Amino acid sequence: QIRAASTPLSHPPFSSGWSPTCWPSTVVLKRSGFHKSVTRAVADETSKDSLGKRPAEATLSQLGLNDQSVSEFVSECDSISRLTSILITIPGDIAGEFSDTIIAEGAVSCSVEDANVGTDDEQEMFHAGSLAGERAFVYRDPVEDEWLSSRGMWDQSRLIALFPQDVDIAEVVATASRILGIETPKYEMKGVVDEDWVQKVKDAFIAVEVAKGVWVVPTWLEPVDPAAINILLEPGLAFGTGEHPTTRLCMQWMRSNIKAGETVMDYGTGSGILAIGALKLGAKSADGTDIDALAVESSMTNASLNGVADKFFCSECDKDGGIENEKVGLRMDNAYYDVMIANILLPPLLALEERLALAVRPNGKICLSGVLNEQAPRVVEVYKKHFDDLSVDSDNEGMWACIHGTRRS
């Protein structure tokens, strides 16, 4: 059995519409072909933040699924296209365990949301951060995390579980209740979900213009503007589909600042989107690094898809800046790069200040993101030791920031 965590889903196991404002819950996929994807999804556990109250829909990238893994899942689970959905309202302190147990007993997926969602009693649970620390996009205070983890789920949590047709749902719910020593809760049948999951997954991704004249195009779509710079991506394996404002902020900065023939380091490369973008914008070579082995793999795959594999090299790193590949490590040690891009979180940006700064040649450029607007001054404060002319760009909503400057000579 494989367990993956993600956000509440309107149509588990997949749903459309990526949003940075997502809420944690649990989704479980129970087929062997999912090892890789699920490892990824667990890594993304309890991802994202929310300033608003309403859970956003989950996406492939959060689940770590791609088209192939979806197909595998579909073919491995005979009844996947006709799943019965049930709703159970349950106290928050047992919602997680109950979800796990019904998965173990036969549910294909289970998501958890606030039972009072959309009402005055809706509880804000996760905000401006994540329990997953560095793996998630927004940094949150560890003190608050402790508060959150002690708090469990919403006081009244709603489980939405999907079952294959051949599973006796009443029996599963009764068994799970027995195991947890609780009274069998009432549940509401929501009928049969009959979806073309693969199509649904594909529908969730569209081509996006991430900077003027720079598009991110899912592999199965034709470019909207064939004359533009088109970055082909296999969405779902790693962070970086072009949907997130920080990726766009970095790409917009790169579009105006990358010069032909430059050397680039994309630190925290994810899908490789920024490195590939830099190469398509004229960079001579781009190195990437990531603490996530799957991101490393995915970035190389995406570089091949874009015909830039010969100019892109990606190596795994550890969270303290140690780089697995010696050549890339030496470059980092020797102020090799004309441009350093790092779209990671505030804590690693602060912790890796020397590492990132000293990898940039004198007069070279740095572009840092992955931070909220209000966190930008802390980045500026730390990086001004090494960089001149540091300035901050914000996204249209004024929520996310990107900080850039020039290395002092």
Ligand X SMILES: C[S@@+](CC[C@H](N)C(=O)[O-])C[C@H]1O[C@@H](n2cnc3c(N)ncnc32)[C@H](O)[C@@H]1O
Smallest gap, in angstroms, from Cβ of residue 322 to ligand X? 10
Among 274, 332, 359, 401, contact with ligand X (rule: CB under 6 A)? 274
Give yes or no for a contact between 146 and 133, defined as CB atoms under 8 angstroms apart: no
Among 160, 273, 339, 357, contact with ligand X (rule: CB under 6 A)? 273
Give yes or no for a contact between 379 and 366, defined as CB atoms under 8 angstroms apart: no
Pick between residue 65 and residue 83 the one whose CB is nearest to ligand X: 65
Q: Could you give the angle at the alpha carbon of 233 between the alpha carbons of 232 and 238, nearest 5°?
A: 160
Residue type, 74: V
Among 58, 160, 317, 346, contact with ligand X (rule: CB under 6 A)? 317
Among 343, 364, 386, 403, contact with ligand X (rule: CB under 6 A)? 343
Return the SS3 of 38. Answer: helix
Give yes or no for a contact between 356 and 379, defined as CB atoms under 8 angstroms apart: no
**Within positions 118 to 137, which residues make up the interface with ligand X, using CB under 6 A?**
134, 137
Tokens of 268: 């925290």
Q: Which of 269, 337, 332, 342 is nearest to 299 (CA)?
A: 269
H-run or E-run covering 74: helix 67-76
Smallest gap, in angstroms, from Cβ of residue 291 to ligand X? 4
Residues whose CB falls within 8 Å of the CB of residue 69, separated by 6 or more in sequence, listed in order = 33, 34, 36, 37, 236
Dihedral, CA atoms, 50, 54, 57, 63, nearest 10 degrees?
50
* Region near ligand X per CB under 6 A, out of 115-123, 214-222, 244-252, 355-363: 244-252
Residue 291 contacts ligand X per CB under 6 A: yes
Q: How far is CA 243 from the centre of its chain?
A: 10
Pick between residue 91 and residue 347 the one whose CB is nearest to ligand X: 347
Smallest gap, in angstroms, from Cβ of residue 248 to ligand X? 9
CA distance 219 to 305: 8
Residue 160 contacts ligand X per CB under 6 A: no
Residue 245 contacts ligand X per CB under 6 A: no
Residue 270 contacts ligand X per CB under 6 A: yes
Using CB under 6 A as the binding criterion, the count of chain residues that bind ligand X stands at 26
Residue 239 contacts ligand X per CB under 6 A: yes
Among 250, 356, 376, 382, contact with ligand X (rule: CB under 6 A)? 250
H-run or E-run covering 139: none
Residue 393 contacts ligand X per CB under 6 A: no
Q: Give the β-pairing of 312-316 and 285-290.
A: parallel
Tokens of 335: 């102020």
Residue 159 contacts ligand X per CB under 6 A: no
* Region near ligand X per CB under 6 A, out of 72-80, 141-149, 342-350, 360-368: 342-350
Pick between residue 27 and residue 317 the one whose CB is nearest to ligand X: 317
Residue 46 contacts ligand X per CB under 6 A: no
| Contacts to ligand X by CB under 6 A | 134, 137, 238-240, 244, 247, 250, 266-270, 273-274, 289-292, 295, 317, 319, 343-344, 348, 370
